[in-house]
Every structure is written in structure tokens, then in C-alpha cells.
Amino acid sequence: MEPKPSPNPKVSDKVAEAITPAEELSYELRIEEVMSPNAQCVSPDMTMGDVLEVFRQHRISGSPVLSPDGKLVGVLSIEDLIRALRASDLDADVQKYMTVDVIAVNGKDPVIEALKKFVNKSVGRLPVVDNDGKVIGILTKGDITRGLLKALQRDYQAEEIRRYRARHLFEDIVSDRTGLILRYNIHARDFTHGGAASSNIKRALLRLGASPAIARRVGIAVYEAEINLIIHTTNGGVIRVDIEPHQISIDAIDDGPGIKDVGQALKPGFSTASEEIREIGFGAGMGLVNISRCVDEMKLESVWGKGTRLRMKIFLKQDEELGEGYPANRENS
């Protein structure tokens, strides 16, 4: 009569794989979140005629039966009422027709527990009780459907809002020229984290509404630049990405050692990388060549002994513009 909350249901990996988002929610949502609270209750000594009036007034088709001290003693459904009507027995007490073998659920239990009971016991509604057995609401299959739909919509909206916000960033912030600047510190010889900055930049661009092709071009260019900083610099360097609706400017800056012959460095296949670096798949002398293929503009400046600055630019065509682009531009053109 007083169901305690079940321990969290264990889900095996195999079962978890096959679970749909709605099913997942039925494990996450608690019964008290979806039930109808303040259930209309009846008492055992009411007549069936009174119950008819209660059901009609509140447009319900069943109700828990509570003893005067508030204990759940039964459930009365519209079927019970029909039986009484057919027997012309509306003056009889509720206790004559109610179901005494009550199946209740605990409000703290996940919705899945209630679903199991609906499937196994062929009941239309379940009284919901708290840990002390006090009735706190009533649950129908309709309540569960509504609760799941609401929760699904909530989850969906959260993700939508995130994407929407990122895409409208440039529109929401008004300036004559808005840019979003991302900076990443790249450590020399840190091959383990090599590529982390590029991944993050690529992800940011996709969230801002860049096409996969643009995100790929920027990703590859930044990745090669990042690897160059890791391989060749004395103290590492900084990658700075300036994202504007119409263009993406990337600078890879370091403070040494610098390139002796910039012209030679740009030649395909030219490399000063060590055997160790070649072993991990880099240092083939193709990095700068790859970058120049991916970007629209590339400028390499270096002073031996001072440092290097690699500037890259990708221009976005009007239909590729990030976010909503510049509204003013659209109007003018």
C-alpha cells in the first residue's frame, strides 16, 4: 500500500543502445513531475449517486477513495459507476463498488515504473502517493504522454536556443564592424595536444553557422599552422582567429627562431623537420603548401632570430556569411 521509491533501475549497455529519447526521458522524469496533482478524491461512505455528480462536475473518470484519516483505501472508476447504474443501485456506498486491491505508485519513482504497471495490470489510472502513503496526485497514460512531450520539447528548445544564439551573435551585437576573436596558446613540442586548437576553432565555426566546407578549409589551415608552431618554435606561439561575418582572419605568431629563407620554406617538399617529427607523420614540407591551398590569402613574414608571423584569410561569399551576416549589407546590395 505504501510503495517506497525503487532504487534506480539498472540499464545494461545493450539495452541503453536501443533506448529512444522518449524512453530515456521515462527513466529521467519522476512521476510527480507528470501526474495531475490535487486529485479529486471520494470517501468510502459517499453514495454512488454522489460520486456520479463529482465525476460529472470535474469531468473525471476515476478517483482514489480516501478514509476519513486520509488513508488510501481504494479506487473507484467509471466502470464501477456503470455497474451501480445498471443495478439501479446509486444509493449504495462507494465501498461496495470500489476496488480495494489498490495499485499505487510513489511520486519519486521514474515514470518508467508507472508505465510498467499500466502495461502489466490493465488499469486506467494510478493513485500517486508520497513516502508516507499520502495521496499526492493521480496519473493516467495521458498524463505521461503530455509530460514526455513537454520534456522532449524542452530538451529540443535548449539546443535550438544555443545554436540560434550563436548564429545571431553578429546580428544581436550592433557595431560598425563586429568580430569574434579566439586566441589559443600553442606549446612547443606538445604533440599530444596538437590539433586541439584547430578542433575547437572548427567547432566554433560550425556553431556560428559556417558551412562544413568552410569549416574544413579553416580547420586544415589552422591545423597545419598549429603543427608548425609545435614543431619549429622555441617557445611555442599563439593562434589568433578573428571571425567576422564576411571573412575569417587567422594569425599564427611566434617569437623564434624565425625562418632563414622564406622563399625556400614555401617550396613544396622543403623541410627542416627532424626524423623524429617525420615519424609522427609530419615534416614533409607540405604544411605551408596545404595552407595556401585552403585559404584565399596567405602572407608569411619572418625575421631570423626574431620570430614568424603567418597571416591567413578566408573570404566568405555572400551566401556563406556567418550568422545572419551584416543586415545592412544585405539591404544595400
Partner 1 sequence: MNVGELLKAIDGKLLIPDADLSRQVKGGCGADLMSDVLASIQQPDGVLVTGLCNPQVVRTAAMADMAAIVLVRGKKPPAETIDLAANEGLPLISTPFGMFDICGKLYQTGMLSLEKPVSEDDYACNE
Residue 285 gets the label, from left (phi > 0), alpha (psi -120 to 50) or beta, of: left
Residues in 217-256 that interact with partner 1 by CB under 8 A: 219-220, 223-224, 227
In the numeric block, which cell numbers belong to residue 296?
Answer: 584565399
* Cα 292 from Cα 298, distance rounded (Å): 6
Rounded Cα gap, residues 77 and 284, in angstroms: 79
Q: Which three cell numbers stand for residue 238?
A: 599563439
If residue 75 lies in a helix (H) or strand (E), which one and from where to where?
strand 72-77
Contact region with partner 1 (CB under 8 A), list: 50-58, 143-151, 277-285, 304-312: 277-285
- Tell me the closest approach of the beta carbon of residue 196 to partner 1, in angstroms: 8
Q: Does 194 bind partner 1 (CB under 8 A)?
A: yes
Closest CB 225 distance from partner 1, rounded Å: 12
| Helix axes of 111-121 and 21-28: crossing angle, nearest 10 degrees | 100
287 belongs to the binding site for partner 1 (CB under 8 A): yes
Instruction: Choose one: 66-74, 178-186, 247-255, 264-272; the region binding partner 1 (CB under 8 A).
Output: 264-272
Instruction: Report the residue from 41, 290, 309, 320 that binds partner 1 according to the rule CB under 8 A.
Output: 290
DSSP, res 6: P
CA distances to 147, 182, 235, 268, 325 from 308, in Å:
59, 19, 12, 19, 32
- Which residue, 249, 245, 240, 241, is CA-closest to 169? 245
Among 70, 65, 61, smallest CA distance to 125 is for 61
Question: Which of 8, 192, 332, 333 is the binder for partner 1 (CB under 8 A)?
Answer: 192
Out of 250, 298, 310, 312, the residue judged to bind partner 1 by CB under 8 A: 298
Q: Are 88 and 101 in contact (CB under 8 A)?
A: no
Q: Which range of residues in 21-29, 49-57, 140-148, 292-300 is near partner 1 by CB under 8 A?
A: 292-300
Residue range at the interface with partner 1 (CB under 8 A); choices 42-50, 111-119, 162-170, 290-298:
290-298
Q: Does 292 sit near partner 1 (CB under 8 A)?
A: yes
Q: Which residue of 138, 202, 244, 252 would you call a contact of partner 1, by CB under 8 A?
A: 202
Going by C-alpha positions, the residue among 225, 207, 233 that lies closest to residue 295 is: 225
Amino acid at 95: Q
Task: Indicate whether 46 belongs to the interface with partner 1 (CB under 8 A).
Answer: no
**Residue 75: HSE in the Cβ half-sphere, 13 Å Cα cutoff:** 22
CB of 266 to partner 1, least distance (A): 5
Q: Which stretch binds partner 1 (CB under 8 A): 133-141, 236-244, 246-254, 284-292?
A: 284-292
Alpha-carbon span 294 to 219, nearest angstrom: 9
Q: Please say whether the beta carbons of 197 and 251 come within 8 A.
A: no
Give the distance, in angstroms, between the CA of residue 99 and the centroid of all CA atoms in the same chain.
44
Nearest CB to partner 1, comparing residues 17 and 176? 17
286 binds partner 1 (CB under 8 A): yes
CB of 186 to partner 1, least distance (A): 13
Query: From residue 2 to residue 41, what is the string marking binding to partner 1 with x (rule CB under 8 A)?
Result: ---------------x------------------------
Residue (34 or 210) nearer to partner 1, CB: 210
Contact positions toward partner 1, by CB under 8 A?
17, 191-192, 194-195, 198-199, 202, 212, 216, 219-220, 223-224, 227, 266-269, 280-282, 284, 286-290, 292-293, 298
